[in-house]
Structure 1
Amino acid sequence: MSQMNALLLYCRAGFEKECAAEIMANAAELGVHGYVKAAEGSAWVLFQAQSSDEIELLTTHLPFYKQIFARQWIRVAPLLENLPEGDRLSAVRELVAELAPRYSDVWVETPDTDAAKTRLGFCRRFTKPLTAALEKKRQLVPGSPAPRLHVCFVADDAAFVGVMEAENSSPWFMGIPRVRVGKDAPSRSAGKLAEALMVMVPEDRANELKPGMRAVDLGAAPGGWSWVLAQRGIRVTAVDNGPMAATAMATEMIEHVRSDGFSYRPHHPVNWLVCDMVESPSRIAQLVAEWIARGHARHAIFNLKLPMKKRLDEVRRCEAIIEARLEREDIAYTIEIKQLYHDREEVTVCLMRDKQNR
């Protein structure tokens, strides 16, 4: 594994600068220094360190779920370039044989860009002979603790080859969860909350999201987020002066309250607060922190709409607002911030009070 002295990160196209700044800052906190390569619109970032030991240190001590803008990360060897069109497999197979003695799985991927979508068919075809080659040499052991093999074609004739352990990385191909939202969903934004519930609520906290619970959806219209919660058997108070979609109200799990999302407060505490209002991120952070601090809601999932510049700085500012407010009440909590696949110019935040705060 001595060749893998770089970290490849997938991100949303257009957010390479934020992904690069974030990994640089997180690496520096661990005493790992390097440089990044990031081309705007490429949907990937390369963090180059001096040694493979430094990259291993990063991926061992830095939790992947703490990365806001990275969809996936992989320890990789130097880029394989100028692969011959008639035989790309040989060079890849040769490198794969050197990186690890065993692999648990094989993912042949490409960055998530419009231009790269046409490459996905090739990636599927390439997977078959590569898998067969590994099986022949008994290097592929599904279900084992061995690392996962990644081959990422960043161009038709260029690929990064590397490995990543499943326990500290995204469990989804290309770092993209497969979320299915029913055709009755009132809006496309339903996919954002469905993905957040799937990705951001830990398995050991699943009992805190179950039928019979109550939630408030601020700025709910036309009801996409309320509808997602209703599908899970959660009763929702949908707060918005605008109209709710008929498909949302047809669930009979949603009460529509015509009110302003910033002034509304519930008569009784609820389990969840959700919010996807188009408003300045700091104002949303203050609002949600106040709800949690005053006990109006126990947990929250909300989106922060990011500015065009200094996006990472703005996220950190909002995080500091939440931290300062909850610390005043001595509330222990966990927070995860992620730019999800269904997000655009925004990030999703999952804020949960710790179990001892009952």
Structure 2
Amino acid sequence: MQPAPTPCLSVGILVQCRPGFEPDASLELQAAARAARLEGCSVDVANSGFTLFQLNAPVAHDALRRRFDLSRLIFSRQACQLVGSIDDLPEKDRLSPLMDAITALGERFSALLLETPDTNDGKEQSGFLRRFGPLLDDALTQAGLLRTDSPHLPRLHVFLASPKRALLGISLASEGSAWPMGIPRLRMPKDAPSRSTLKLAEAIAGLLTEEEQRATLRPGLQAVDLGASPGGWTWQLVSRGLRVTAIDNGPMAPSVVATGLLEHLRVDGFTWKPRKPVEWMVCDMVEQPSRIAPLMAEWVASGRCRRSIFNLKLPMKRRYDEVERCRALIDQRMRAGNIKYTLRIKHLYHDREEVTCYLTRR
């Protein structure tokens, strides 16, 4: 009789982030771990593109999931529970030790995410990943460990921190990004007037559920774009059939004007108000986050709009502290109106020194 496999235990939390944001991701991890009453320490290396929170004692991953919500991490592009590592992968045969380590976990998986840091060193492994990924996928399938027809199973992350070091992690689809490394494969629309359009496209895909997208981004709904010029964010809305009032002293691109769904007003975005409530207000104004956050909260709290997506341009230092300050400003306004609300914040792939937020009444 075969002995029962050793239960899979989580030994830490792995967060992939934009290189240079490791201190912010680390501060956030430590704060979340304290709130979840998890003991351990944060380990990060400058410009490595990832950070770890190592637990003092292993925890069953279901128990950890109940206490620690990976999906709420702001500076995480991708996150998972760390369940194992291989620190000396051979150069010629990486498949065998990886299969041995994955098999020893005693788990089956719904998907394989083969990932590296988003750094120059990580990108040098891209050619290897294209060749190796199908081999590992096939080996897992043949061993009965990969069941793509069972979405309820956890996903397997194989994170190559370096050519010789692999970290093994697990996550549910609801906890992390659907894209490996949290990098969406979005094409630049040919008629969009600026690359900023990809920020809103990623925000819609990453911050809203599919049901929310269908229900709130329907043709005929009204929207406002504060700081709209030249129209990258407006384009995302009019391309879905929404009618948009664009607020900016700058010009709007002809491709956006030609849709016939645009009203352009050259007025101050901080003082202008719509005559009637609208479904959406989006905002990518370049301004201090401590000015933007209260303005966004006021739009939603006062009923000018039902929901909003906006960016907060962060300072070079103490970015995590600034996000928490803005979160508190929003909460203060919503509490003053006794308004129940949902606020989701994420440092998206197409963001740089900013985070993107989704705010709506419940």
TM-score grouping bracket, smaller chain normalisation: over 0.9
Aligned 8 A contact 1:235 1:254 in 2: yes
In the alignment, is residue 65 of structure 1 matched against residue 71 of structure 2? yes
| Cα deviation 1:10-31 (Å, max 9, x = unaligned) | 1111111111111110111111
User: In 2, distance between residues paired with 1:277 and 1:142?
Assistant: 42
Q: Hey, what does 1:189 align to over in structure 2?
A: 196
Q: Runs ≥4 in structure 1, deviation > 6 angstroms?
A: none
| Cα deviation 1:128-170 (Å, max 9, x = unaligned) | 2222222232222222232222111111111112222223222
Q: Hey, what does 2:36 align to over in structure 1?
A: 30
Q: Hey, what does 2:182 align to over in structure 1?
A: 175
Q: Hey, what does 2:230 align to over in structure 1?
A: 222
Aligned 8 A contact 2:11 2:81 in 1: yes
Give matches, 1:1-358, under 5 Å. Answer: 1-2=7-8, 4-53=10-59, 56-144=62-150, 145-206=152-213, 207-354=215-362
Q: 1:319 to 1:101 in 2, by over 3 A?
A: closer
The residue type equivalent to 2:212 in the other structure is R
Aligned-partner SS, 2:174:
helix
Q: Hey, what does 2:3 align to over in structure 1?
A: none
Shift of 1:210: 1.1
User: In 2, distance between residues paired with 1:88 and 1:3?
Assistant: 23
Q: Hey, what does 2:4 align to over in structure 1?
A: none
Aligned-partner SS, 1:9:
strand
Aligned 8 A contact 1:24 1:33 in 2: no
Shift of 1:2: 4.6
Normalised to the residue count of structure 2, the TM-score between the two structures is 0.93
Shift of 1:78: 4.5
User: In 2, distance between residues paired with 1:225 and 1:289?
Assistant: 20
Aligned 8 A contact 2:23 2:44 in 1: yes
The residue type equivalent to 1:329 in the other structure is G
Aligned-partner SS, 1:167:
coil
The residue type equivalent to 2:114 in the other structure is V
Shift of 1:109: 1.2
Shift of 1:321: 0.7
Backbone CA RMSD of aligned residues:
1.6
Shift of 1:3: 5.4
Unaligned runs of 5+ in 1: none
